[in-house]
A = this chain, B = another copy of it.
Amino acid sequence: MKYYQREGLLPAGERTAPNQVAYSGEHVQRVRLIRALLETGGLSIAAAKDVISALDASDAPLSETFEVAQHAMSTPRTKESEPSESARARVAAIVVSRGWAFSADNPGIDAAARALDGLSAIGFDAPDAYLEAYASAAASAAAADLRALSERTSRDAIAELMVVGTVLGDPLFAGLRRVAHEDATHEMFATQSPK
């Protein structure tokens, strides 16, 4: 809690006596949110700060809050190389073929293109069917995210889920994919000769 306050992520509690500080329920809730962004979402302190201020700017249009969330997860911790033009073009092509509306600076394009470059580095040039399976998985998850948003009524509740859902949907998927991998490869290993 002290650490979050030093980093400017959390306001100080209310001093009620010389060595007593009172924290409201809202405070406790905020600590949980910060922990989720930093630990589970893996955001940097700077990115978490951006996200928190976007949440607190409750008069800002939702589309602005959304953009902050989109970019928060994409702020590289280390300096990242530019993806190759060919990988960017492949991602754009798959996205266009699905009829998705997107802006040129959507950080997802570069993130996906960098992953394709990494796969190419080991000689795996992802075939269309592979990319399409991932794009279709991403579309299903995004649709579930949108349904969840549409069930919230207040502007603040929508903004909060928009930000936190963007950040935490990634590890949710990654965790489930890990489990699905174990199931999928089970048969593959079963046919290997024992060692």
**Chain A residues packing against B (C-beta within 8 Å):** 29, 32-33, 35-42, 61-63, 66, 70, 73-74, 76-81, 91, 95, 100-103, 106-119, 121-124, 126-127, 129-130, 133-150, 157, 160-161, 164-186, 188-189, 192, 195
Contacts and interface: CB of A to CB of B under 8 A. Distances in A.
20 contacts: A35-B121, A36-B114, A36-B119, A36-B121, A40-B115, A61-B195, A62-B189, A111-B171, A114-B175, A119-B164, A124-B165, A130-B148, A134-B141, A134-B172, A136-B140, A137-B137, A137-B141, A138-B180, A141-B177, A143-B180
Given A118-B36, A121-B36, A102 B183 contact: yes
Contacts of A101: 182-183, 186
Contact of A139 (B129, B168, B180): B180
Given A135-B176, A173-B134, A143 B184 contact: yes
Contacts of A149: 185, 188
Given A39-B80, A141-B177, A146 B184 contact: yes
A157 B124 CA distance: 9
Given A61-B192, A137-B137, A178 B118 contact: no
Contacts of A179: 91, 95, 100, 102, 106, 108-109, 112, 138
Contacts of A178: 70, 73-74, 106-108, 111, 166
A161 B174 CA distance: 17
B111 A168 contact: no
Nearest to A32: B121
A192 to B, nearest CB: 6
A116 B103 CA distance: 30
B173 A173 contact: yes
Contacts of A110: 175
B138 A173 contact: yes
